[in-house]
């Protein structure tokens, strides 16, 4: 996709802003010219040539893939050039909220701050309209979108491929995978968390400290059999993990993007340990499913086109995840990612806890990753974890979701 060479805030743009000039402003000291009396901005072609020289990037494929992903994450249905242009120039702030700054940059080739400063200037609008059309035409030539401006299967495949590349490259650069991977990894038999005691387990694995905490939380005068907790020794391979992802309306944009990256990260890590992964995307119903045992390519293909919207029905998502677990004798886990928790139903706990208790009876551990949970969400999350003897990870920054899920996986 053609891209504009855009000044960042440390270079030409700062010089322009500090001098009080915007797009098309004329500097009378530079060549003796004068500005129009009505204050209309005129174009300084030499400066604009420097600031907005259009080049053909070598990474077009990656740009196209990112464009498709961001469109899905912001629930953008079609790449109609005139519609995109009108949204941007009529109300830029609303356009940014609906489309996201990344998608706007990809469609226009301009830095979003620059667009916002100059969106009302007719001369810039003409350039902007032309640039959007050129970039959308290129997406059509590359068969990323069709004649009706909808994303093609080839476009989705391209987006999935580059999502994998970008996420694994980022994780490797940070030392989470690859040659620089941290040596603090768990081995067969290492203690990782706790689970309920059953008569088939040896007494030597009972965790006194965890058992006492459970009994105290339940205000017991003496320890009951239901309070006993075992040290959970992680077995190597053959675990079943379902990643259950909330894609309700509140997950639009960066949160959904982070969730999809986390699904790639989890699928990759599980594959290196011979564990099986499946993925469920849900809101008030099931949106998409990658069956248990799906490889990384299948997971990415399934998730890349998922769009946000609707209410949150955690119970429905957990129920679907439970139905995907097989009869394996290995460990079974559900990783549940949500930002708002239950919104469907008059009494959230009544809709969620029965299926949570069903998971507990089947010895399926629930690990909940909470994105920016409010007080009500946190209370329900803690109740879910208490009822299922699972774990809770609070994620305050959506960008950390992939790293947190790797930590959670390595603690199962």
Instruction: Give per-residue pLDDT as tens, 119-150.
Output: 999 999 999 999 999 999 999 999 999 999 99
| Cβ atoms < 10 Å from Cβ of 50 | 13
Cβ(95)–Cβ(87) under 8 Å?
yes
Q: Which of 10-24, 183-197, 340-354 has the lowest mean pLDDT?
A: 10-24
Domain locations in the chain?
2-151, 163-184+236-410, 194-233
Give the distance, in angstroms, between the CA of residue 325 and the centroid of all CA atoms in the same chain: 24
Cβ(161)–Cβ(65) under 8 Å?
yes
Reading the block at residue 60, the tokens are 């077009």
| Cβ atoms < 10 Å from Cβ of 70 | 23
What residues does 170 pair with on adjacent strands?
none
**Superfamily of segment(s) 163-184+236-410:** von Willebrand factor, type A domain (3.40.50.410)
- Report the C-alpha gap between 162 and 1 in whole angstroms: 15
Instruction: Give per-residue pLDDT as tens, 237-275.
Output: 589 999 999 999 999 999 999 999 999 999 999 988 889
Q: How confident is the model at residue 388 (pLDDT cuts 50, 70, 90)?
A: confident
Q: How confident is the model at residue 299 (pLDDT cuts 50, 70, 90)?
A: very high
From residue 192, alpha-carbon distances to 188, 267, 343, 410 in Å are: 10, 20, 32, 8
Q: What is the pLDDT of residue 177?
A: 81
Q: Which own/partner pairs from 52-59 qualify as long-range (CB within 8 Å, at least 24 positions apart)?
A: 52/4, 52/5, 52/6, 52/110, 52/127, 53/4, 53/5, 54/2, 54/3, 54/4, 54/5, 54/109, 54/131, 55/2, 55/3, 55/5, 56/2, 56/3, 57/1, 57/2, 57/3
Q: What is the pLDDT of residue 221?
A: 64
- Report the C-alpha gap between 258 and 408 in whole angstroms: 16
- Report the C-alpha gap between 268 and 89 in whole angstroms: 42
The chain-wide mean pLDDT, for the chain, equals 78
- 277 φ, ψ to 5°? -125, 140
- Is the predicted pLDDT of residue 42 greater than 90, yes or no? no
Q: What is the pLDDT of residue 161?
A: 92
Nearest partner of 365 among 392, 390, 329, judged by Cα = 390
**3 state DSSP class of 336:** strand
Percent of the chain with pLDDT strictly greater than 90: 52
- Is the predicted pLDDT of residue 26 greater than 50, yes or no? no
Instruction: Give per-residue pLDDT as tens, 61-73.
Output: 568 999 999 999 9
Q: What is the pLDDT of residue 387?
A: 85
Q: How confident is the model at residue 79 (pLDDT cuts 50, 70, 90)?
A: confident
Q: What is the pLDDT of residue 179?
A: 56
Reading the block at residue 45, the tokens are 């072609």
Gyration radius of the chain over CA positions: 26
Reading the block at residue 363, the tokens are 């010895």
Q: How confident is the model at residue 396 (pLDDT cuts 50, 70, 90)?
A: very high
What residues does 268 pair with on adjacent strands?
none
Instruction: Give per-residue pLDDT as tens, 328-376.
Output: 667 899 999 998 777 776 776 777 889 999 998 888 999 999 999 989 8
Percent of the chain with pLDDT strictly greater than 70: 70
The distance in angstroms from the start CA to the end CA of the chain is: 43
């Amino acid at each position: 996709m053609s891209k504009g060479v855009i000044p960042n805030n440390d270079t030409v743009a700062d010089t322009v802003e500090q001098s009080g000039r915007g797009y098309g402003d004329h500097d009378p000291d530079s060549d003796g010219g004068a500005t129009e009396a009505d204050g209309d901005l005129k174009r300084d072609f030499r400066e604009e040539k420097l600031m907005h020289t259009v080049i053909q990037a070598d990474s077009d494929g990656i740009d196209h893939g990112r464009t498709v992903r961001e469109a899905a994450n912001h629930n953008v249905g079609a790449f109609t050039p005139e519609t995109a242009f009108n949204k941007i120039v009529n109300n830029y702030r609303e356009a940014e909220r609906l489309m996201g700054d990344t998608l706007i940059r990809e469609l226009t080739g301009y830095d979003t701050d620059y667009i916002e400063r100059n969106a009302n200037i007719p001369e810039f609008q003409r350039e902007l309209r032309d640039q959007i059309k050129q970039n959308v035409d290129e997406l059509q030539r590359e068969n990323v979108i069709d004649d009706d401006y909808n994303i093609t299967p080839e476009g989705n495949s391209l987006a999935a491929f580059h999502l994998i590349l970008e996420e694994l490259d980022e994780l490797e650069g940070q030392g989470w995978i690859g040659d620089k991977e941290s040596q603090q990894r768990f081995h067969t038999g290492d203690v990782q968390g706790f689970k309920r005691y059953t008569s088939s387990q040896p007494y030597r694995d009972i965790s006194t400290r965890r058992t006492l905490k459970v009994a105290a939380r339940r205000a017991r005068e003496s320890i009951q059999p239901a309070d006993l907790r075992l040290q959970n020794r992680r077995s190597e391979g053959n675990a079943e993990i379902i990643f259950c992802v909330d894609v309700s309306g509140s997950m639009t944009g960066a949160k959904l993007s982070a969730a999809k990256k986390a699904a790639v990260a989890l699928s990759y890590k599980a594959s290196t340990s011979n564990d099986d992964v499946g993925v469920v995307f849900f809101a008030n119903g099931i949106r998409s499913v990658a069956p248990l045992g799906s490889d990384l390519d299948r997971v990415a293909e399934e998730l890349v086109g998922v769009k946000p919207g609707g209410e949150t029905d955690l119970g429905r998502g957990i129920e679907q995840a439970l139905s995907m677990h097989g009869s394996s004798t290995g460990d079974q886990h559900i990783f549940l990612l949500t930002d708002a928790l239950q919104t469907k139903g008059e009494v959230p706990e009544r809709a969620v806890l029965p299926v949570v208790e069903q998971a507990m009876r089947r010895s399926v551990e629930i690990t909940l990753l909470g994105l920016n949970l409010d007080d009500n969400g946190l209370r329900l999350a803690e109740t879910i974890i208490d009822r299922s003897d699972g774990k809770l990870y609070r994620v305050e920054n959506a960008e950390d979701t992939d790293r947190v899920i790797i930590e959670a996986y390595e603690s199962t």
